[in-house]
Amino acid sequence: MLHIFLFTFLTILSQIGGVVYLLSLIILQKWKWKSNSKCKLLIIFTGLYLMSTLLFVPLIAPVFGREKIKHTDRIKPTNYVTVLLNRNYVIPKLNEVLIQTDKELSGSDIKIHYLDANFPFLDKFPLLPHLSHADGKKIDISLIYETKSGKITNKQKSISGYGVFEGPKSNEYNQIEVCKKKGYFQYDFTKYFTFGEINTGLVFSEKGTQIVLRNILKNKNLQKLFIEPHLKQRLNLGHSKIRFHGCSAVRHDDHIHIQIK
């Protein structure tokens, strides 16, 4: 039962983790290591997993039409665990959208910090807990923050990048309350996945986030952009491609969801 649990958990977490775990068990059995077998299994798994993630997966992913997100001085993961868990793969067209946005932001201090994108292999393979990140066409990016003096920063307010919300003000539409009253208890569930709040002195940058969104919205390959309705209102964004994601998803005032055609 433990092996089944670990296989399932590691597969859900990183797509390849379950297969690597099985291979590690086979290697351990073949080498007939009996003493400290748990420690040796961990060593085998760690080495094999890192080798697979860093070397083999990037080579195989293009066969499935996907590639790693291309890092630049302005495009970085919010947390490198995203890379280690193989959640940083997209189709080439989405990479082009990110690179184009990078160019549009040239000359500013704003950087694109991405969160979960997609796994490297197989359409319709779920990237939990997300509902739609299963075809290489979706990616989440972080909101932009600033210091209390108004200086834009590229720091975040949670270790994971998720779960610290920029909630509605008293004069703004409260979609969160509406969804929860309808029984969608999971709507703010990501508050449990911050893995720790950091940089608590930072405040939401309306100017910086608006700049990023306006430049993304310029791209003709963009299909939809999800952000919480009260932030759309606050940032004065009336673009038709900015949509409400629905109560069955989770709230989007801690990140921005982008998807292309």
Beta bridge partners of 153: 145
The residue count for the chain:
261
What is residue 36's predicted lDDT score, i.e. its pLDDT?
Answer: 62
Count of beta carbons in the 10 Å neighbourhood of residue 42: 12
CA distance 116 to 140: 6
pTM: 0.92
| Pairing of β 222-226 and β 242-243 | parallel
In the block, tokens 């189709």 appear at 91
Mean pLDDT for the chain overall: 94
Enter the tokens of residue 144.
């932009």
What is residue 109's predicted lDDT score, i.e. its pLDDT?
Answer: 87
Count of beta carbons in the 10 Å neighbourhood of residue 201: 9
Report whether pLDDT(256) > 90: yes
CA distance 52 to 50: 5
What is residue 30's predicted lDDT score, i.e. its pLDDT?
Answer: 80
What is residue 259's predicted lDDT score, i.e. its pLDDT?
Answer: 96
* pLDDT tens per residue, range 95-148: 999 999 999 998 888 999 999 999 999 999 999 989 899 999 999 999 999 999
